[in-house]
Chain A
């Protein structure tokens, strides 16, 4: 069975530079993608946050290295913002944090599980989440 995953910023950053910090289920999701058994997406909002982290010197991985990593890791894709996600975004006005709303919209639009360690997103009950 092929599972579908959307990754938030912590998940992507930890996967790239500190995989030991990944939750067990988050790591299994990534391993499943690497093995070609599942598919995953990294939303544009997450990439924007990583670019800013790089600009502030908080991480050494910037856009160029992230693009290389995506090219090297088949099954994991960049997810541009599109109208399908914005349909979800418009319907999720109850989520007051813009990033949370974007990331949940992305997962719902792709009918995917959200890989996040944010308990708030899990408690919303709007999308299936996994981490540890």
Chain B
């Protein structure tokens, strides 16, 4: 049984869906030995969990935004040049 503890099934939702999708849900429900209703609830709960998991994980720093864009070494070199070039001493060729 996938229904969450403490989450009684008291609400109803009527949805029109493609017959192929319904057939897929019925097949998965049969494979999981549960009703079509329980299968739909389980899959919706899975989606809800994934959305919630996008929030930062409490107490963690490592990988808190894992999967995002990773700057290349050249990108970091570029911002370093942007940020610090005005502080850098002139090269000998720039000197009077």
Contacts and interface: CB of A to CB of B under 8 A. Distances in A.
A16 B79 contact: no
Interface residues of B, number: 29
Nearest to B78: A56
Nearest to A72: B56
Interface in B58-87: 58-73, 75-76, 78-80, 82-84, 87
B80 A72 contact: no
B3 to A, nearest CB: 31
A56 to B, nearest CB: 7
A59 B59 contact: no
Contacts, number: 103
Contacts of A19: 62-63, 66
* Tier of interface size on chain A: 35 or more
B5 to A, nearest CB: 27
A47 B93 CA distance: 32
The A interface, classified by DSSP as helix, strand, loop or mixed, is: helix
B89 interface: yes
A37 interface: no
Contacts of A34: 59-62
A68 B56 CA distance: 8
A33 interface: yes
20 contacts: A9-B80, A13-B71, A14-B70, A16-B68, A17-B65, A17-B67, A30-B61, A30-B62, A53-B75, A53-B76, A56-B75, A59-B70, A60-B69, A61-B68, A65-B56, A72-B57, A76-B61, A98-B84, A98-B87, A99-B84
Shortest 4 CB-CB contacts between residues of A and residues of B: A73-B61, A52-B79, A58-B75, A58-B71
Interface of A: 9-10, 13-19, 21-22, 27, 30-31, 33-34, 45, 48-49, 52-53, 56, 58-61, 65, 68-70, 72-74, 76, 96-99
Given A15-B63, A21-B70, 16 more contacts: A9-B80, A10-B76, A19-B62, A19-B63, A22-B62, A34-B59, A48-B83, A49-B83, A52-B79, A52-B83, A60-B65, A68-B56, A69-B56, A70-B61, A72-B64, A76-B61
